[in-house]
Amino acid sequence: MEMKHSHEFRDPIHTFIHVRSDERKVINSEPFQRLRNIHQLALTYLVYPGATHRRFEHSLGVMHLASQIYDIITGPGNVHSRINYLLPDGDSLRYWRSVIRMAALCHDIGHLPFSHAAEHKLLPKGWDHERITKDLILSDEMKEIWNNMTAPLRPEDVVKLSVGVKKCPELQFTIWETILSEVIVGDSFGADRMDYLLRDSYHAGVQYGRFDHNRLINSIRILPRSEKGSLEPSLGIEQGGLEAAESLILARYFIYRQVYFHHIRRVYDIHLIDFLQNWLPAGQFGTNKHDHLSMTDAEVISGIRQCAIDPQHQAHDAASRIQNRNHFRRVFTGVPGDKAGAVLEPGKALFEQACKVFGDERLRHDYVPPKASTPDFPVLLYDGAVASCHGLSQVMENIPTMEVDSIYCCQSVQADVKQWLEQNKNQILNLAGQENLI
């Protein structure tokens, strides 16, 4: 019997995802198989029970979408006349298609257990999951796979496209490589963003993250910037895809508000960080290959279960809060009126004062600074001109910024903390004469 050279994965979002035999060797590698045990949305399943999906299937989906985008932007008739010089010839086009698929596939292999939840506090200074991803792609095991692919891939090319310019300052990017990295991790039309919105909304059981991704992908182009005479290219869209792009931006805004920034989901991240800081050796994850590959959600969940029944363990309190769903309760969430006084960071000011009264072991502050929701990208108009999306879409001009500013406390002091906040909030925030908005 003749050996198959193409294989497929069933997927609830994209139906079938196809890979070649040499690509399947990447999927079968230890760094990629580890993603079967890394939850995409950390402990979100404690709030949205269906959100138990993993980084494994998300990475397959990103590869699938990145391939579709690549085929569209390099397709005959889709290349803007002012950026024709960028496209390589036929053999190079095939090479870069392979690179972009493998970079998309491997873009998340450096994630820690429970993905983003604990990364910013539990890695040594200067480390993040992108740096670990780079090290794994450049490891001897993966280099052997890259060298045996048809055609062989340069590991540095896979690194560039998988993490992008911002996370790879030590490498020199050509304009072509910069654009291809946008296809995967770009703020506007990155395949990573498209897949996680579609996949997370599906598994969470919400409608917020859905948009017409097929229409959007078919309208993506490499375009010169809107400034007259500028040859600096980036990913943009044809004008006919503007509504699909608006739906992507709205989908992102609403799923952040309703799922990613859900206050109970956020407080479980806090308890998870507390647990890990008291459970891990030295309170941090290891960054070498062996330590990284040997630590998954499975080991952490086992640790949580063990510590939850051991009152003597220093991680017991956080573990029992997760295991027994006895999470801290929200007692304050910031609103725009809180910034009307002289205090620039209301939640932080209230939290610090409350800790002096109730003790910092009973309180937690959760803060995400204001984050713009709308990127700027070029749009190819029906008459052939190129303009900024911001001058064409009222939707994109009016998407609010996203921010989290919340205080949580132990349930045993919840009533006392709320009463204290009601009595002291205006004075602390210098909001004399204003109504309490807690």
**HEC profile of the chain:** CCCCCEEEEEECCCEEEEEEHHHHHHHCCHHHHHHHHCECCHHHHHCCCCCCCEHHHHHHHHHHHHHHHHHHHCCCCCCCHHHHHHCCCHHHHHHHHHHHHHHHHHCCCCCCCCHHHHCCCCCCCCCCHHHHHHHHHCCHHHHHHHHCCCCCCCHHHHHHHHHCCCCCCCCCCCHHHHHHHHHHHCCCCCHHHHHHHHHHHHHHCCCCCCCCHHHHHHHEEEEECCCCCCCCEEEEEEHHHHHHHHHHHHHHHHHHHHHHCCHHHHHHHHHHHHHHHHHCHHHCCCCCHHHHHHCCHHHHHHHHHHHHCCCCCCCHHHHHHHHCCCCCEEEEECCHHHHHCCCCCHHHHHHHHHHHHHCHHHEEEEEEEEECCCCCCEEECCCCCEEEHHHCCHHHHCCCCEEEEEEEECHHHHHHHHHHHHHHHHHHHCCCCCCCCC
Same-domain check for residues 45 and 182: yes
Of 100-109, 145-154, 346-355, 392-401, where does mean pLDDT reach its minimum? Answer: 392-401
Domain holding 115: CATH number?
Answer: 1.10.3210.10
Domain boundary, last residue among 264, 284, 304: 264
Q: Residue 2: what pLDDT? A: 52
Which candidate, 267, 223, 265, places its Cα nearest to that of 245?
223
Same-domain check for residues 259 and 350: no
Neighbours of 64 (CB within 10 A): 23
Same-domain check for residues 30 and 168: yes
Same-domain check for residues 31 and 111: yes
Confidence of residue 120 (pLDDT cuts 50, 70, 90): confident
The answer, yes or no, to whether residue 347 has pLDDT greater than 70, is yes
Same-domain check for residues 124 and 37: yes
Same-domain check for residues 333 and 220: no
Residue 281 lies in a domain: no
Which candidate, 95, 225, 75, 113, places its Cα nearest to that of 158?
95
Confidence of residue 436 (pLDDT cuts 50, 70, 90): very low
Domain holding 360: CATH number?
Answer: 3.30.70.1370
Same-domain check for residues 150 and 37: yes
Same-domain check for residues 102 and 246: yes
Residue 373 lies in a domain: yes
Q: Residue 118: what pLDDT? A: 76
pLDDT (mean) for 288-313: 97
Which candidate, 110, 109, 108, 115, places its Cα nearest to that of 43?
115
Residue 1 lies in a domain: no
Structural contact between residues 68 and 217, judged by C-beta atoms closer than 8 angstroms = yes
Range of the domain at 34: 6-264
Residue 340 lies in a domain: yes
Domain boundary, last residue among 247, 264, 281: 264
- Give the whole-number percent of the chain exceeding pLDDT 70: 96
Same-domain check for residues 245 and 359: no
Residue for token pair 């004008």? 239
The predicted-structure confidence for 37-71, as pLDDT tens digits, reads as follows 999 999 999 999 999 999 999 999 999 999 999 99
Residue 334 lies in a domain: yes
The predicted-structure confidence for 16-35, as pLDDT tens digits, reads as follows 999 999 999 999 999 999 99
Amino acid at 114: F
Residue 356 lies in a domain: yes
Confidence of residue 121 (pLDDT cuts 50, 70, 90): confident
Same-domain check for residues 333 and 243: no
d(CA 80, CA 69): 15
For the chain, the domain total comes to 2
Domain boundary, last residue among 264, 287, 310: 264
- pTM of the prediction? 0.94
Residue 132: which residues within 8 A CB-CB, separation 6 or more?
Answer: 109, 110, 287, 292
Angle at 42 (CA atoms; ends 39, 48), nearest 5 degrees: 100
Structural contact between residues 198 and 137, judged by C-beta atoms closer than 8 angstroms = no
Residue 207 lies in a domain: yes
Mean pLDDT over each residue of the chain, to the nearest integer: 93
Confidence of residue 228 (pLDDT cuts 50, 70, 90): low
Same-domain check for residues 83 and 210: yes
Residue 302 lies in a domain: no
Same-domain check for residues 253 and 338: no
